Chains A and B, each alone.
Chain A
Amino acid sequence: MTILRGARRSAAALTALALAASVGVTACGGGGGGSGDGTFTVGHSEPDHLVPGNTTSSYSFDVLSGLFENLMGLSKDGKPVPLAAESVKSDDQKVWTVKIRAGQKFHNGEPVTAASFADAWSNAAYGPNAYEANDYFSHIKGYDELNPEDEKAKPKTDKLSGLKVVDDTTLEVTLNEPFNQFPQLLTYPAFAPMPKAAYKDLKAYEDAPIGNGPYRISGKWERNKQIKLVPFSGYTGTRKPKNKGVVWKSYASADTIYTDLRAGRVDVQQTIPAAKVPEAKRLLGDRFLPRKMGTIDYLGFPMWDKRFASADLRRAFSMAIDRNGINKAVYNGDYIVADSLLPAIIAGHRPNTCGQACTYNPAEAKRLFDKAGGFKGTLELYFSNAQPTYAQWMTIVANSLKQNLGIADIQFRTVPAADYFGMLSRREEKGPYRQNWEADYPSAQNYLQNMWGSEGNKMGWETAKENKEFDALIAKGNAARDEQEAIKFYNQAEDLAIREMPQIPLWTWAGQGGRSDKVDNVTITPYAGGLLVHEVTVK
């Protein structure tokens, strides 16, 4: 359905928001298409919020990455590099000392200090504010006091006790547990600083956010229409703009963006709808921009349900699914079938970790299935209605399970995107379900701990003794002194999760963008920041 197709965007995590984006694309055609003033236009869905801590939408991140500069950023190969920070260091992985580069200013002239960060983070972590990214601050000491168990209770304080402003350029951060991926976490857009001017009226602030990034907002957020960013002359960092500005134009449907890209009304589209990709490859030639991505789809099992208790049965399911066939039928063969729990762009990914268990083999699948005692009753398959492709590949999965394992009675359960994760967290699913993960920051820990850790997504595995082992390995990794050692432990944890297979890895997404011939040097990264706006040159 065309309307729903609007949902097919880069961010797996945010498909529903694509639906949410209510857009007046109405004849506001002007301004777009690099109208000779050195600016360019990018089409995307309407952001939900522009206060950094109050959004997890990638469409908000698109804009925030220009407006704000975090302490750390990511290099093109996904390594954390200092941006607003001079250094982020720790001896024990628990207490971190952040040195902030001196002389930085917000767009209103206010200096960027340690307090700019501390206040913004406390504001985001403060429970009663109900910010969307609230959870990301849970590593920091004092988070629990700001988010009391009893939801009616008002927290006694509104400051994170783990944040200590030593002086204007030094911030000391104390975490709950040792966590060596903290510099990575700092790249997440919610960790941006905010000026004092923001707190007077956050609603007004959101209409015209004042940040410390390479771009400042020109005018106001024109809701459902566009957000215009122009270079900030006081910017002193490494991301100096090579263009005269960018217009983020809001659309309801990715199809329309694509139509406008072809017509030259849009200069960059980050994700072309899958069904249009064959045509786009033909028409755009070298202006078609494929990229790797970190979003990976899984098929999870309700582990508390005895019918799925056997690891052999779960492996049988995995081996009965023709990943390559699905990739060809649904995704034009552009996705990468999964050979591990981690996507290839993440440090710590080992090719073919999953081996036989992720390889299509109907005969062996049937053997394992029979050995495990088969499956009785109705097999219900759960997924959300956020994207039409979910039902498409689930149909092929269902056909394969029917044909290869002989499960006769298979039913779909299409759950509204609005209720899907609520349903999973209430454990109302009675059969295999679609699950996915898109990296908040490129780290094996981000995938493993959130997907299979006992605190992460509660799929019923958290009570198993294997899950205790898993947690212990992740904790060892988090506390490790260097990256190599950390990855060693993460990989051991991954092996454990593959052996038990509470979730079957399916495939890694592929990003397929495009540009007009008016712009060049367009790089779209697989990370939260997405498009590197400052690098784009306009002809």
Chain B
Amino acid sequence: MKIDDADVPEPLDVPGGAPAPANGAAAAAVAEAGGDLAVGRPASLWHDAWHDLRRRWVFWWAAAVLALVAVMAAVPGLFTGIGKNENCDPNLTRLPPGGGHPFGTDLSGCDYFAHVVHGARPTLLIGVAVTLFAALIAVVFGMLAGYYGGLLDTLVARITDVFFGLPFVLGATVILVAFPGHGVGAMTLVLVLLGWTTMIRIMRAQVISVRGADYVQAARLLGASDARIMFRHILPNAIAPVIVVATLNVGNVISGEATLDFLGVGLQYPEVSWGLQLNQAQSYFVDHPHLLLFPAVFLSATVLSFLMLGDAVRDALDPKLR
């Protein structure tokens, strides 16, 4: 099922021009692109990419926004002296921006600016943590499946299909509704559980295309162990597309998390998050638009920055489109 929209990771447009669809086709295309660019000059790829990135304003813009959000997440005290869920007075509910409250107050009469600042931490933490764990699963199992093939590969492929076919929001809702306490940890777990499929497909296809390469054969003939081949020779040459997709994925995870919060099955008190704020805003947005505006702007800017960063990294790693 479509989650509407804050969808499971789906590469914006996959290098090589193929879409992200169904089976093999896209992943194979990605692999092809990755393979091409790796051959010949593996050592300088990353250097070149960085050189390229430095010249893009999009990259710097995204990096600046993300740095700001990261600082908000790490040390909210720099921006506001008010702690989470502190200094609230329900008699001051839903005040418009102004006076002592630059962003107004929320439904509970809490200072909205302070709470929007505090909302950065869980949002960012979940986005990054989920992507890291999902990428780790994808890289490890994608590598093993792609390298060894056979039964293991079939098994991994079918399990991936099963999870891929599972509608994201529904799957997450079913799990979260059943457990009364969902904090950052539980949310991360659920999002990882449902979010590794795209990356593993790409990784697996990459590995399959790289494992036949001359330098791998050479290493094997020289008597390198499987582990060494996988780690030293295949990984560096297969991982570029995964990194691109992972960067884009952070934005998608953040969107997905906000959607779950919005639906009322995600984070809950005492956590403060932009998704939760939007959830509360929905009943009141006509009379109190500021409740919708501020978290929406912060959330969108963050997701946008991750997407732009991902785009920039992809362009940098994909010489074909340069």
Are chains A and B touching directly in their complex (CB below 8 angstroms)?
A: yes
Chain A: residues with CB nearer than 8 A to chain B?
1-2, 4-5, 273-275, 278-279, 322, 324-326, 328-330, 380-382, 385, 388, 391-392, 394-396, 398-399, 402-403, 410-416
Pick the contact of B264: A4, A322, A394, A399 (CB < 8 A): A4
| Cβ < 8 Å to A, chain B residues 167-215 | 177-178, 180-182
A448 to B33 alpha-carbon distance, docked (Å) = 73
B270 touches A (CB below 8 Å) = yes
A5 cross-chain contacts in B, Cβ below 8 A? 283
Chain A min CB distance to B84 (Å): 10
Contact across chains for B108 and A382 when beta carbons are under 8 A apart: no
A413 cross-chain contacts in B, Cβ below 8 A? 180-181
The 5 closest A-B pairs by CB, nearest first: A325-B90, A275-B283, A329-B93, A413-B180, A329-B90
- Identify 9 new A-B residue pairs, CB closer than 8 A, beyond the known A2-B282, A328-B93: A274-B283, A329-B108, A385-B264, A395-B85, A395-B108, A396-B108, A411-B269, A412-B181, A414-B182
Chain A min CB distance to B74 (Å): 22
B109 touches A (CB below 8 Å) = yes
Chain B min CB distance to A267 (Å): 24
B284 touches A (CB below 8 Å) = yes
B263 touches A (CB below 8 Å) = yes
B262 cross-chain contacts in A, Cβ below 8 A? 1
Contact across chains for B287 and A278 when beta carbons are under 8 A apart: yes
Contact across chains for B91 and A396 when beta carbons are under 8 A apart: no
Chain B min CB distance to A77 (Å): 34
Q: Mark B57-91, 1 if CB is under 8 A from A, else 0.
A: 00000000000000000000000000001111111
In the assembled complex, 10 residue pairs joining A and B whose CB atoms fall closer than 8 Å, in A order, are A4-B264, A278-B287, A279-B286, A325-B89, A328-B90, A329-B91, A329-B109, A392-B280, A412-B268, A413-B181
B160 touches A (CB below 8 Å) = no
Contact across chains for B180 and A396 when beta carbons are under 8 A apart: no
A322-B91, A382-B180, A399-B110 as given contacts; A394 in contact with B269, CB under 8 Å: yes
| Cβ < 8 Å to A, chain B residues 119-176 | none
A385 cross-chain contacts in B, Cβ below 8 A? 177, 264-265
A275 cross-chain contacts in B, Cβ below 8 A? 283-284
A5 to B89 alpha-carbon distance, docked (Å) = 25
Q: Mark B261-291, 1 if CB is under 8 A from A, else 0.
A: 0111100111000000001101110110000
> Which of B279, B282, B283 has the most CB atoms of chain A within a 10 A radius of its CB?
B283
Chain A min CB distance to B257 (Å): 15
A40 to B270 alpha-carbon distance, docked (Å) = 47
A278-B287, A329-B94, A411-B270 as given contacts; A399 in contact with B88, CB under 8 Å: yes
B86 cross-chain contacts in A, Cβ below 8 A? 399, 402-403
Residue of B nearest to A389 (CB): B283
Residue of A nearest to B264 (CB): A1
B107 touches A (CB below 8 Å) = yes
Residue of B nearest to A420 (CB): B180
Contact across chains for A398 and B90 when beta carbons are under 8 A apart: no
Contact across chains for B269 and A325 when beta carbons are under 8 A apart: no
